[in-house]
Chain A
């Protein structure tokens, strides 16, 4: 098991290398030169632009700049923001907890709603309850996040003042207000996750329910709680885990929309403003951080495969 984990971790190195090339290479693709922006935009003189370029090191060859950036990034130093001149790592550290709270809560919502729906639907395919769940989840997948957010805000915050429409209150300040502010972002972001998990579990579970070993479990007289809850669910968990891994990436990216709708200063809105300000170091740092996070989550998914399926451990 330990060698399995070590092998998987080593496999991440080339992956992260490729990601870093793409992230750093973005600077070549994205239109606009940060030096021009910093030098004063349209009115900047050529000398001023060259000066700024030298300050930022932009006059040096790409590979040299990339090497230096990677060297620092490995030590979690992404440089300073061009806009605020604060170390990017500090800015991420300040904003990321909020994003984590949104994404984590949305994932929890997705699991809490998606798993029961998937079970209801998967144990008896083509029944009335299954068809109902399929219709609901299809709708949930089709609904765009921003539209869902607006409807929720209108219904729950504007027409009826049940929940606040935007903002963030730290948990340490007031747990109840924190919860009130988090509910709408969680539902907004978690609905697609719930629907995706439900559908994946439905497919896996309905396959498993028809398998020989489930018949065996029934033949020894186990009650449905054990047949479904223990044997069928554990056997159906691998595809669901895959989807959870993919959903984490979606949730981290999805916070960009949710944070700007609900006015929460998290990592998503940080990336968004970094892009609009052509703050390349901030952009690269934040994206690299999100990529690292995604890769780590997928590593955890891989490890849990091995925990769930004894055969994977052998291979």
Chain B
């Protein structure tokens, strides 16, 4: 059953496909609790792509995997995540399994290790298909072949019988995409799907994802640290820092006028935003570890615009008139540019 039982949600033309509100994730180890994701909110519109950007340790992967129950057992998840009218937080594992790979699929960063090395590609694809759709092995094989063709793998019928080690990194990521999309999900969570690939392969995979999105109409939650990738595939962007959302905007607005000093720092650190021959820029320092997140502005320690007030009290997330969202008390006075 892929149609959700909740009334009024499935076919609704307006409203987001996924609406995450105040999602928090904490991990408990050795009787210490660390809140890795803190009251994150974002929304993904049907058929659109939302990028979640941030450095390593910003909580972007954790907040996306929390949606489908792929975090370790030590994780505690609170808040709300409504997917097509269904509440994902607090679902039983059985309900999660029904949604996973069916309505919401995931592709991961590591194409080299994300496929099971001891089963053929065909076996893994048909298994995923029959797990949700049932049906005969023959039908599943036909569907698997169709998917391999769709993701641009030559001679799909022959390759179904091969093991993952016979595929290159880029080809494995294509297989992984075929695996994720075989049940035509409505939402694809792409967790840094191109980070481990060569630059040329990267752009091929991004193009493929965009083509498939148009063809199959799914929404994509694109988790990445690469703003170049965000610029080419996303409709909207949500910037995360140290477990919090610090800015949300449409792509054009974001790249033209970032509102948060962290966004500005990220944009200015992109290699091509620096004129040739000049030193590459960077944001000094690193993301603090979750147990040492400040209660006030978490970026203040690395922020070139920080004032005393920044370290005094928690900074609220502010909804602006133009629909943008920013977490900075100085955003009105500061004029920021993507290029230095």
Contact = CB atoms under 8 A, between A and B. Distances in A.
Interface of A: 211-213, 215-223, 226, 230-231, 234-235, 308-311, 314
Contacts of A215: 70, 108, 114
Given A221-B100, A221-B102, A216 B115 contact: yes
Given A216-B116, A230-B119, A235-B116, 4 more contacts: A211-B113, A222-B127, A223-B131, A314-B165
Interface string B91-132: 000001111111001101010011111110000000110011
Given A212-B108, A219-B70, A221-B99, A235 B176 contact: no
B118 A212 contact: no
Nearest to A238: B118
9 A-B pairs closest in CB distance: A220-B101, A221-B101, A221-B100, A220-B128, A212-B113, A310-B163, A213-B116, A219-B106, A221-B97
A231 B120 CA distance: 12
Main secondary structure, interface of A, reads helix
Nearest to A212: B113
Contacts of A230: 119
Contacts of B179: 216, 220
B245 interface: no
A310 B132 contact: no
Interface string B166-189: 000000000010011000000000
A90 B165 CA distance: 50
B221 interface: no
A213 B97 contact: no
12 contacts: A212-B108, A216-B108, A218-B70, A219-B180, A220-B105, A221-B97, A221-B100, A221-B101, A221-B102, A221-B128, A226-B127, A309-B118
Contacts of B115: 213, 216
Contacts of A211: 113
Tell which of A217, A220, A222, A231 has the most Cβ of chain B within 10 Å: A220
B148 interface: no
Nearest to A235: B118
Nearest to B132: A221
Contact of B101 (A213, A219, A231, A314): A219
A220 B165 CA distance: 20
A270 to B, nearest CB: 42
Contact of B98 (A216, A221, A314): A221
B68 interface: yes
Instruction: Select the residue from A226, A310, A311, A314 with max chain B CB neighbours within 10 A.
Output: A310
Given A220-B131, A221-B131, A223-B97, A235 B117 contact: yes
Nearest to B111: A212
Contacts of A231: 116, 119
A302 B108 CA distance: 33
Contacts of B105: 219-220
